[in-house]
Amino acid sequence: MSDPSGWKDSQRQSAHRGENRMTSTKQRLDSFSSEEEKILADVEPVVQSVRRILRQSRYSDGDRLSPDDQSYILDNVFRYHPDRSSKVAGEVDYVTVGKPESFPETRCFFVVSSDGSSADFSYLKCMENFVRKTYPEIAEPFCGKYFWRRLASDSRNGSGGDPL
Q: How far apart are the first and last CA of the chain?
A: 20
CB 102 within 8 A of CB 159: yes
Architecture of domain 34-155: Roll (3.10)
Instruction: Render pLDDT for 36-83 as a digit per residue (tens, 0 to 9).
Output: 999 999 999 999 999 999 988 889 999 999 999 999 999 999 999 999
Q: What is the pLDDT of residue 1?
A: 57
The strands making up 118-121's β-sheet, listed across from edge to edge, are: 92-98, 108-113, 118-121
Neighbouring residues of 123: CB distance < 8 A, sequence distance ≥ 6: 47, 50, 73, 77, 108, 109, 163, 164
Task: Give the domain ranges of the chain.
Answer: 34-155
Instruction: Kindly report whether the global pTM for this prediction surpasses the value 0.85.
Output: no
- Check residue 62 and report its DSSP letter: T
Instruction: Render pLDDT for 139-159 as a digit per residue (tens, 0 to 9).
Output: 999 999 888 765 445 544 444
- Check residue 22 and report its DSSP letter: B
